[in-house]
Structure 1
Amino acid sequence: MAVSQFDSEQYTSEAFVESVGAILFRLSRREVCVLHLLNRDEYVLAKGRRNCGESRKDTAVRELMEESGFSCRLLHLDMSTRAPSAVETEQLGDEAHFYTGICEPFNLQLRRLKEGDVKLIWWYIAAVDEDQSFNEGHTGGAEVCRGILQLH
């Protein structure tokens, strides 16, 4: 039996959790939304766990609404990724390729939890739907102060 040349780790379903979040911008005012967790005095970006059967994109939009109170949309970006294009016209090597106008996570964060458990956090870029009203949302039980930081 051949042995892989790559280091690898495997986690059964009870040992990992998958979360999705986004950096949320209000484009018209050049602002970014951050959450202030009052009970920990910590500033964070909105994110949360993916439900069974839910797509990552749907999770991101739902969690942003629940945690920030803002209706939003995920932005299509020009970026490099190792994922193949939606329509493969040729066999590409396992290397990054540049695409325009794709809606994909720009970052994957691996957070090691207690011994043997991990959290995968997929990050997107999103924009506030400015024609929609603000919704208090639920905060998963956390005391949250929503804030907007002005970008320069």
Structure 2
Amino acid sequence: MASSKHPTTQYASDKFVESCGAILFDFAERKVCLVKYIPTNEWLLPKGRRNCGEARETAALREVFEETGYRCILHPVTMSTRAPPKDEKGDVADEARIVPNLTEPFMCTTRLLGEFNIKFIWWYIAALDKNGTTKSDGEANFIPEFYSWEEALKTITFEDDRRILERAIELVNVNLAVGDMPLE
């Protein structure tokens, strides 16, 4: 039996967990929401575990709401992806291409949790839901705060989260520059 020519690691379902999160933008104010995790005094991006049977997009929106108290919607951006467009026909080369108006994950983080466990975190870009911006309490251990993009980059605790936020801001800025995204 042949082996794959690509390095491969497999994880049974009891050895991995999926999380989903979103960078919550207030485009009207050019701000982004971070959450302070009170027990550790850390400033983080909102995220959490995906429930069984829950779509990743739904998990991201739910987790942002639970941790911030703000309703949001996934915000489409034009970005590079290796996934073929949904209307693509036939065999498509596995290569990056620019696709407009995507609400797909723009980043995936993997974290090793011990020697044989792993966490996958799928990251989305989200905007405040103008029809649901009334704030609820959110989870007790989190305090949400909106910062200018520059201040958020200085405030966030972990370098890995800073790189995720930088990429989200970069995508948003590129889309703003080409007129693909309104500031509302």
TM-score class normalised by the smaller sequence: over 0.9
Question: Which residue does the alignment assign to 1:82?
Answer: 82
Question: How many residues align structurally?
Answer: 149
Question: Which residue does the alignment assign to 2:72?
Answer: 72
TM-score by length of 2: 0.78
Higher strand share: 1
Question: Which residue does the alignment assign to 1:118?
Answer: 118
Alpha-carbon displacement from aligned partner over 1:67-115 (angstroms, at most 9, x marks no partner): 1100000011101111111122242211111100111000000001122
Question: Which residue does the alignment assign to 1:48?
Answer: 48
Residue type of the alignment partner of 1:121: I
Structure-2 separation of matches of 1:14 and 1:131 = 39
Structure-2 separation of matches of 1:115 and 1:99 = 37
Structure-2 separation of matches of 1:117 and 1:3 = 23
Residue type of the alignment partner of 1:71: R
Residue type of the alignment partner of 1:31: K
Question: Which residue does the alignment assign to 1:99?
Answer: 99
Q: Secondary structure at the match of 1:73?
A: strand
Structure 2, unaligned runs of 5 or more: 151-184
Q: Which has the higher contact order (CA 8 A, sep 6+)?
A: 1
Residue type of the alignment partner of 2:88: E
Residue type of the alignment partner of 1:85: P
Query: Cα RMSD between the aligned structures?
Result: 1.2
Do 1:26 and 1:130's aligned partners in 2 also have CA atoms closer than 8 Å? no
Higher helix share: 2
Worse-superposed segment, 100-109 or 122-131: 122-131
Question: Which residue does the alignment assign to 1:146?
Answer: 144
TM-score by length of 1: 0.93
Structure 1, unaligned runs of 5 or more: none
Q: Secondary structure at the match of 2:33?
A: strand
Structure-1 separation of matches of 2:51 and 2:43 = 24
Structure-2 separation of matches of 1:54 and 1:47 = 14
Deviation at 1:145? 1.7
Worse-superposed segment, 117-126 or 127-136: 127-136
Question: Which residue does the alignment assign to 1:108?
Answer: 108
Q: Secondary structure at the match of 2:58?
A: helix
Structure-2 separation of matches of 1:114 and 1:2 = 30
Deviation at 1:130? 2.9
How many percent identity over aligned positions?
42
Alpha-carbon displacement from aligned partner over 1:40-71 (angstroms, at most 9, x marks no partner): 11110000110111100111111111111000
